[in-house]
Amino acid sequence: MRSSKVRLRCFISAETLALEVAADILSRLMQATVLRGNASMLVSGGHSPSGLFEQLRGHALDWSRVWISLADERWVSPGDPASNERLVREKLLQRAAAAARFMALKNEAETPELGAVPAWENLAPMPRPFDVTVLGMGDDGHTASLIPGSPNLATALDRSLPAACIATISPIAPHARLSLNLSALLDSRRIFILLLGEEKLRTYAAACTAGPIEEMPVRAVLRQRSVPVEVVWAP
């Protein structure tokens, strides 16, 4: 079960996906800078977006007008190998894209519970709706860090609540995380869900069937009808 706003695009390789999706994203960012003066993009961590980041970073664009932040973050130092911020700095904020304005989620608070409000306040200057949001999807159907079994998942998925950053818990270490809630993720003009490999395609097929959103939180993005979603997949 998915919304008519969702389109699945399949590519012959991860390289082709990265090339074509990067061109689409760049076009949207460039159009935003022309029409509104600035552009904004949320991205996710993990292995899947690395090729996309490498395609984006060298392209001619006035990156100084582009704001970039994260859909979620592990509560680790920015230098930790598990840090999404580290991935973005190493893979995306290089070459021409080094001029972009990056807004971190991890901050000096002692815990993600204490750091959630400052993290969201740090994103306040970013133009919204976000022009592009790039999400991934775990084999358990999570997206961003909206994770099945997380104690505050129902709150995170409640669209009646204002956009915010929240603390979440993963069953897989590192457990403590920050994530934008569903209201924040859907405050976007276009969402891409990036999938690589046969297992992710099977998970996506399962997410498109009937079932509780809490069981596979990516369903909350797939079933909504306000934001166009492009699911992009390659083997």
Nearest to 115 by CA among 188, 176, 194: 176
Secondary structure (DSSP) of 3-33:
-TTEEEEE-SSHHHHHHHHHHHHHHHHHHHH
* pLDDT, tens only, 157-193: 999 999 999 999 988 888 899 999 999 999 999 999 9
Query: pTM, whole model, 2 decimals?
Result: 0.96
Give the CA radius of gyration of the chain: 16
Residue 173, φ and ψ in degrees, nearest 5:
-65, 145
Per-residue pLDDT for 1 more than 90? Answer: no
Q: How far apart are CA 125 and CA 217, in angstroms?
A: 28
* pLDDT, tens only, 99-111: 999 999 999 999 9
* pLDDT, tens only, 186-210: 999 999 999 999 999 999 999 999 9
Residues 6+ apart with CB under 8 A from 202: none
Q: Do residues 103 and 67 make contact, with C-beta atoms less than 8 angstroms apart?
A: yes
Residue position matching structure tokens 């970073």: 57
Domains in the chain, CATH or no CATH each: 6-234 (3.40.50.1360)
